Copies of this chain bind each other. A is one copy, B any other.
Amino acid sequence: MKKVGVAILGMGVVGGGTYKILRDRKQAIAEEYGVDAEVVAMLDKVPERLDAVGADRALLAPSIDAIAANKDVDIVVECMGGLEPAKTFLLKCLKAGKSIVTSNKEMFSKSWTELEAAAAETGAGLYYEATTGGGMPIIRVMTAAMQANKILEIKTIINGTTNYILTRMAKEGADYKDVLKDAQALGYAEANPEADVEGFDSSYKLSILASLAFNKRVPADMIYREGITHITAEDMRIADELGYVIKLLAIAKNRSGGKIEARVHPVFLPKSHPLANVNDSFNGVFVVGDAVGDVMLYGRGAGELPTGSAIVSDVIYCARNAEHARYSEMNDIVNKKDIVADFESEYYLRMNVHDVSGVLADVANVFKKHKVSIARMRQDEGNDVITVIFITHMTHEAAMKESVEEISRLDNVISVENVIRVEK
């Protein structure tokens, strides 16, 4: 039996869930995995949080230095969130030879290289399943089940808040703002929802997945990012009628010649796609390996026990690992010019035009000029103002942007209301 001392930094929702699982499943984990994991220290500015999960206040450490110096601590679990002091705390622990398990996506995605270097110096382990997809074990699947593969592509619904909002918009025909308000009231969205709805959170997680997949760092700020705030009830209704759902996807592709695509934006996704049924606050990820083909994973992207489950899995995995994996490649950062900006996609366009003869011909001529080929077109009867919908074939992003700009300037086009990419 391997004895392992665990310290938990941050006794909020996730830290509390981790504590509960380690306490309640202690014997089962020992019997099934030969790991006797004991929480021996905790760090939190609010001692009452220990009481809330029934933890002994005697376990409260006076400082991070006390934890780094504590010989009984083998693994430090970080559930603090935020960039600092989390990063400084973890560097201290790594330098003291403690292995790290973290759920802090923003900090980890921004500091991976530094943490990796510190871990390599002392031979400590660095585990981060809980940063990405909560209880959906995508990190373990990529590192311990797809080792035989070159990863070609990742498509993922990786933010629970936006997926919850989009699911409710689709089900209720409601508008973005109304659902957001409700989601905030229910605790599914933050008072300041920007990190979620503008795609920042997805871009941190995609940064981690893409870096792992392509063996070089893909920083979040190099990832194209577009949020969901411009999605309307009307787009939802049209998507449904045409056989699609609207989802916020994070996409990374391994292209030839060392080029990669990395982008976060809403898409029209066919209802038959395996990710199309990933609803509410669930996460889903679709990975393509050159040998295994398509693999998909689905699970709860957040929450006390799902994220706690990922953390405890990392603790056991770390404890059983004789030699921790090292990603020395993390020192290589992808070159900005190797990130494909002019990627190809299909597009959905919704525009309002005056009901006069010739307007469609004008629009079609702009598409023709930019070599944009139309797959589907729809125009319903209307009064003065009519709505026209296009879905294009594969088109370069630049050609689409130029087309939209020119179409917007046409005499009888009132407005291009929305442009959303379409995934196959």
Cα(A312)–Cα(B21), bound, Å:
33
Q: Which of B147, B277, B293, B308 contacts A299 (CB 8 A)?
A: B293
Q: Inside 8 A of A320's CB, which chain B residues have their CB? A: 321-323
Interface code A140-151, partner B: CB below 8 Å = 1, 0 otherwise? 110011111110
B215 touches A32 (CB 8 A): yes
Cα(A25)–Cα(B289), bound, Å:
12
Interface size range of chain A in the complex: 35 or more
For window 268-301 of A, CB contacts with B under 8 Å fall at 272-274, 276-279, 282, 289-300
B21 touches A291 (CB 8 A): yes
Q: Inside 8 A of A137's CB, which chain B residues have their CB? A: 141, 145-146, 295
Q: Inside 8 A of A297's CB, which chain B residues have their CB? A: 295-298
Q: Inside 8 A of A276's CB, which chain B residues have their CB? A: 277
Q: Inside 8 A of A278's CB, which chain B residues have their CB? A: 274
A309 touches B322 (CB 8 A): no
Q: Inside 8 A of A296's CB, which chain B residues have their CB? A: 296-299
- The reply to whether the CB of A136 lies closer than 8 angstroms to some CB of chain B is yes
B293 touches A147 (CB 8 A): no
- The reply to whether the CB of A305 lies closer than 8 angstroms to some CB of chain B is yes
Cα(A291)–Cα(B21), bound, Å:
8
Cα(A166)–Cα(B111), bound, Å:
49
B299 touches A298 (CB 8 A): no
- The reply to whether the CB of A343 lies closer than 8 angstroms to some CB of chain B is no
A293 touches B149 (CB 8 A): no
A148 touches B317 (CB 8 A): no
- The reply to whether the CB of A325 lies closer than 8 angstroms to some CB of chain B is yes
A140 touches B144 (CB 8 A): yes
Question: Which among A21, A299, A312, A320 has the highest number of chain B CB atoms within 10 Å?
Answer: A299
- The reply to whether the CB of A153 lies closer than 8 angstroms to some CB of chain B is no
Sample (10) of A-B pairs whose CB atoms are under 8 Å apart: A25-B150, A33-B147, A33-B325, A129-B145, A135-B295, A146-B313, A147-B317, A293-B300, A296-B296, A298-B298
